[in-house]
Structure 1
């Protein structure tokens, strides 16, 4: 079936009208779900629902928390302990009785779909074990609140670190890039059931005291496929500035959407800029649309965060720039997988090979994942990011030849 670029992000949400309104207001979502005989015929209590759906998922390392324990740990979920807030989520800092600091994430559920999504998130995160993925400590189900508990990151998120007073050095940034790449390689290539995160961004990368990154928040994650295909999602979810073109234009999901988002994070690490900056000059609000023309003009050095002090390994920097550029290839079929990107970052692949690959992909406009070369479609993609069009930027410029991706002097340094 032919697909046309559109607005899959726009959707209409309707609320089911309860049969007996005053009764549904008095029961939790869990109890409401249990009352559906065709789906849960044998469940008679909240505990039996939790047991049947979650207990067999959780490993011995995970535990069930009572609501009172978490309430005490967070000082009754006080505003002083609120460390994060989203559309349906709130995250609180908490301290357990043994002194362990935790992050308590509360999902305010609004129906059985939210319950199923929570079960899916728990199922996926409980199956994972990697040093660069934030592990689930436990859960709690309390009426309409679906709660998950994680270790509290001592240094907060990568987003906070990049925008904070302490300036990350280049070596720290590069190690964060490698660690995040390893986490994605684990999800895509080492799990028995591949996992697509779907919300890779700097605010979902937590940092330890040693600046070891841990990928977190698997609320949008989904099982991938062992084949090389993709699935279609009618409802496109994620964060503006990180969404791959084939995803927000067509709803196509594969592990390549994580690779694209990883490229955006690499640009954040390189530049210290946010994905969307309304304080920037006209035409430079988007990090990606500001960075790529710089690279194509051979001005990659201009991307470097001016706040970085100390030594900088030039070859390492240039490989990171090239890796980011390759991740942002518009057509998913031509976009490298995360293992290839890791090899490039680690120096296990020749840089010249990847420069040539970018050049060869420049004319790949016949792929149905690549939107047409027109100002109308450029304006559409920019509107999705919440920024204005700029006549000086064209779609063609986003995939132009990377022959000048490095200046001649930089290329010599790479070969030395």
Structure 2
């Protein structure tokens, strides 16, 4: 890891509780140089001790990729910090987003401009793909919101650690993302641009309905339904047939039948106007 990417003076109060977290890391809200930042620290205790150095190396590789990315709808990379000098393990540092993630915003039934949000997410993913980066974990939890309700895509690549040979020896979908996981990934294949497009379709459905895909199905049963070709039916909340047609194309069963993110962006832009604002949508 380049020395200039290591930020000195980042400290987490040992008594502080994480502001949020997932299956592989905790996120702490920290003040650094007068501004709020997010420090993501791996939960090394959750993995075999023999894998600690490998996980730290994976984080460094991801940070090196992240530091070269710059796009309005991709969360900026600030650097890494070393919270424990004894181990030297790294944690990533990025700007703090007060509004949290998109999934939480949707669950709170707060107003959202559907067209603007979909276009920004698509543009962010298109940029990642143009930089040869497969996100691999697109969901509402990995899209943060700025004060202006602009999106900030985060955790590209980081979420795959739990599904890779570093930890498990194979590939698998985690419970938190299984509802956005393409059928080929359920069969053990690696994430691709096409699987990101599939996940985008699932997230688009969630944005319109305020419900996760297959909301009426237990998580354990989702993978089998997806693999046999089942998809959620068109809901009443879809306010534009063009959007539903795009969703269906994006979650096609065959990866090569899904559009590129560049075409997804061009399609949404081609509609000329944003879709209606998504406000008080029923969660019944």
Q: TM-score, normalised by structure 1?
A: 0.54
Alignment of 1:255-270 (within 5 A): 255-270=193-208
Any unmatched runs of 5+ in structure 2? 45-50, 162-168, 273-284
CA contact 2:60–2:90 (8 Å) conserved in 1: no
Aligned to 1:177: 118
Matched residues, number: 248
Counterpart selection for 1:133 from 57, 70, 74:
74
Whether 1:242 and 2:186 are equivalent positions in the alignment is: no
Aligned positions of 1:227-376 closer than 5 A: 234-237=170-173, 239-275=177-213, 277=215, 280=216, 292=231, 294-295=233-234, 300=235, 302-304=236-238, 317-347=240-270
Q: What's the offset of the Cα at 1:76?
A: 3.2
State the distance in 1 between where 2:7 and 2:203 align: 34
Which residue matches 2:139? 201
Please give the secondary structure, in 1, of the residue aligned with 2:19: strand
Distance in 1 separating the partners of 2:217 and 2:259: 32
Distance 1:281 1:117 in 2: 34
Compute the displacement of 1:340 (Å).
Answer: 1.3
TM superposition score normalised by structure 2: 0.77
Distance 1:276 1:101, change over 3 A: farther
Structure 1 residues 346 and 97: alpha-carbon distance in aligned structure 2, compared to 1, 3 A threshold: closer
CA contact (8 A) 2:67 2:79 kept: no
Q: Given the superposition, is the C-alpha separation of residues 128 and 335 from structure 1 closer, same or farther in structure 2, using an over 3 Å criterion?
A: same
Q: Does 1:148 align with 2:83?
A: no
Select which of 87, 110, 132 maps to 2:23.
Answer: 87
Cα–Cα, structure 1 residues 55 and 207, in superposed 2: closer, same or farther, change >3 Å?
A: same
Q: 1:88 to 1:267 in 2, by over 3 A?
A: same
Counterpart-to-counterpart distance in 1, 2:266 and 2:199: 18
Q: CA contact under 8 A between 2:129 and 2:193: conserved in structure 1?
A: yes
Match of 1:114 in 2: 55
